[in-house]
Structure 1
């Protein structure tokens, strides 16, 4: 595997975790950018990064940067992705990759035109257990998949000024945690849903605090999702078929899946399969990103992000909830 020069934009908590993963996989990080000089230098000192930029545009312009990693608030993703792609850089962006489908379609088209890799930071796309479950389903062990159920509840402190609840920064449960649930659901649906039934409860700032979402596709498969920013739920997904079901707990970084085979109405057998290491979730992301570049394609990852982004867009349209920049 080739080692690439990564340039990081943003120094928040997920960037700290990604920096550790980059150092573990590659042994170094080429550059970092943050508009806050104090945070920039503290982060760079801690993570052993020599090249520091207070202007992210200067990092993007650096000819030695191969991959731009973006860990800013959602509202800045589109601008930095577009600039980086137009500068000929591969891009790894934290979720939500863009705030709406229009932005996504534009950057996806640029990436394909320029033959660049653009990847969204959903850990579940890279955890080894998911490939094992998909192989099991492909082998017919669960029969025909009929229903996917998935929850994500995050208990955020009550703070109307926090970015999680800030409409100007694309706050709300859907873009903060809903992408994970939607990515899980889309992974196990045969085709893109075309029916969306949903309702939301809003926080006082106008963003979605919690919601219920039902999706249906042309294959008559259903996905049922429950999201909340003010009530903790287990991160749990269940995929049900005509011959059994699989339960995956802590699905964003899952390492285990419990399978129940329903032989008939009265007989059930179970097995548990394991794969991967949850402490290496972001290392898997780094390794896959670099593998995508090596092989010249992303195993369909960006197309899955396309479907997820469009589902999220359809949900917001059903609510009639718009951000100021939509």
Structure 2
């Protein structure tokens, strides 16, 4: 069985990904990606395959996997699309350079770098370590910014000082697994990042990947798990969030800079992704004067 390479969408205003999967939360095929990954099962049972390891998961199952390690989770029928129960999981993705190329080389990360090496085989966390990390992860979706980052670093510290885990894939599998990757993805994502403030037609972006439109659409959805339009929208709205937090330009100007010529469409797409309007988002970033300690200058 050949593993499929995935390229995961990410907001440009976030350094790592935290998201909830509900319903049939593992619709992906046997796949791998460049991100490190935590998978916490809140509610479901089923079978998971990590490398050449086949095991079973249930509520509270927590696995940490390294970059490029093939894996797949399969819910039991009761939790699948037509099942009577709804599955629920939390997932964290990050790359080894998500805080800069030198971050993993600072002295404080020495112990955790050993964990990253073990994660090449996949780690099923156990005991009190699992309980502590599960609690942290379950609180993360309701947090933002530095709070989430602080929680992730706390998880790193816990894992750097524990022996409560089972390694999953065999060393032989990790040594012998070879993945196929091309610069096609870099060309596509690079072009989007350089031109997201303009209209990008499907024929235009398909030609960047050296494909026809139909082949590109199928290829993009398979690899990125979202459509090209959905991915482009995520990039544009992420950039809008950055601009809303950095300057006082009005929303119309920001919408135009992010590739939207229609303010109503910009507001609609923003609210769809962020569950609030751009104006409301900007207001949430403002610290009320009453919350600033006396003697503090802004």
TM-score, normalised by the number of residues in structure 1:
0.24
Computing the radius of gyration over CA atoms, which structure comes out larger, 1 or 2?
A: 2
Task: Answer 1 or 2: which has greater strand percent.
Answer: 1
Task: Answer 1 or 2: which has greater helix percent.
Answer: 2
